[in-house]
């Protein structure tokens, strides 16, 4: 259960000589155990905000605290280590490694721990069974449906038991039925395991499943509504 506190966050990109203010002096608080949907038009800065919270991008100014730890000042090495312990990423395109089986994909984050191989396998199996895919452990991503691939992606995100799950359009590449199943799974993880979830989405139907929806526009917080 991780809390997020953001103060005065600014992120600027240069496109040629043109300066793009993607996030502009943004403040945001997410309580531990929240399920927050980040919505907004394309280019509003949703994904950038998610990347900054996840420590895979750096702000120009402002501060980001996750569980009271300030992460924007960590070195690259410290950030990588922090990510491996505290955050689970769930991607729109699943980003599974095609040459590895589902189980091996889920096991990947555990390679960053000192866990023994047998323990890693057992944890990966447990994570796969939590997402209902224990019978697909040996399948390669190409042998799975889109919904199943995203389940493997979720299993990979939770296998290290992080407090924070960051989802970038997790249902964007799925049909409605498969998308609903993924959302069910996220809600379950939020409610039964207390995972804090921040989910970028375009889809109001997906956002409805969150406890709170935050709207971004032009790098600013436009609306913050509880469900």
Partner 1 sequence: MSVLRSLNQVAAVTWMNLRNVPARPSSSIVAMLGIAGVVAVLVAILSISAGFKKTLSGTGSADTAIVLRAGSSSELSSGISAEDARIISQAPGIAQGADGPLTSSELYVVVDVPKRTTNTDANVPLRGVQETAFEVRQSLSIVEGRRFESGLREIIVGQAASRQFAGLDVGADLQWGNNEWTVVGVFEDDGSLSESEIWTDTRVLQNAYNRGSSFQTVRARLADIDAFQTFKDALTADSRLDVTVEREADFYSGQSRVLTAIINSVGVAVTGLMGIGAIFAAILTMYAAVSARTREIATLRALGFGRIPIVVSVLIEALVLGVIGGIIGGVVAYYGFNGFQTSTLNWASFSQVSFAFAVTLPLLITGLIYALIMGLFGGLLPSVRAARMPITVALREL
Rounded least distance, CB 160 to partner 1, Å: 9
Rounded least distance, CB 178 to partner 1, Å: 21
Burial 13-24 (b: 16+ CB within 10 A, else e): eeeeeeeeebbb
Query: Which residue's CB is nearer to partner 1, number 70 or number 85?
Result: 85
Rounded least distance, CB 191 to partner 1, Å: 25
Query: Which residue's CB is nearer to partner 1, number 92 or number 171?
Result: 92
Rounded least distance, CB 156 to partner 1, Å: 8
Rounded least distance, CB 56 to partner 1, Å: 4
Query: Which residue's CB is nearer to partner 1, number 17 or number 114?
Result: 114
Q: How many CB atoms lie within 10 A of CB 143?
A: 12
Interface ranges with partner 1 (CB under 8 A)? 48, 51, 54, 56-57, 76-77, 80-85, 89, 91, 93, 95, 97-100, 108-109, 111-114, 156
Task: Give me the residues paired with residue 197 across strands.
Answer: 35, 165
Query: Which residue's CB is nearer to partner 1, number 34 or number 169?
Result: 169
Query: Which residue's CB is nearer to partner 1, number 109 or number 179?
Result: 109
């Amino acid at each position: 259960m991780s809390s997020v506190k953001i103060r005065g966050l600014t992120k600027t990109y240069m496109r040629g000589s043109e300066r793009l203010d993607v996030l502009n002096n943004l403040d945001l608080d997410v309580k531990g155990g929240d399920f927050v949907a980040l919505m907004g038009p394309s280019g509003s800065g949703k994904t950038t905000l998610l990347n900054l919270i996840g420590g895979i991008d750096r702000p120009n100014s402002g501060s980001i605290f996750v569980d009271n730890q300030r992460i924007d000042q960590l070195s690259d090495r410290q950030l990588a280590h922090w990510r491996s312990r505290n955050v689970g990423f769930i991607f729109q395109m699943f980003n599974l490694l095609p040459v590895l089986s589902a189980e091996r994909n889920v096991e990947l984050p555990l390679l960053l721990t000192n866990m023994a191989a047998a323990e890693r396998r057992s944890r990966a199996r447990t994570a796969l069974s939590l997402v209902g895919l224990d019978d697909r452990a040996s399948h390669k991503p190409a042998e799975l449906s889109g919904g199943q691939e995203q389940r493997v992606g979720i299993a990979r995100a939770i296998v290290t038991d992080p407090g924070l799950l960051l989802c970038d359009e997790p249902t964007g590449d799925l049909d409605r039925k498969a998308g609903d199943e993924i959302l069910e799974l996220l809600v379950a993880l939020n409610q039964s395991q207390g995972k804090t979830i921040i989910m970028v989405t375009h889809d109001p139907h997906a956002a409805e499943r969150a406890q709170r929806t935050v709207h971004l526009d032009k790098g600013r917080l436009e609306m913050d509504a509880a469900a």
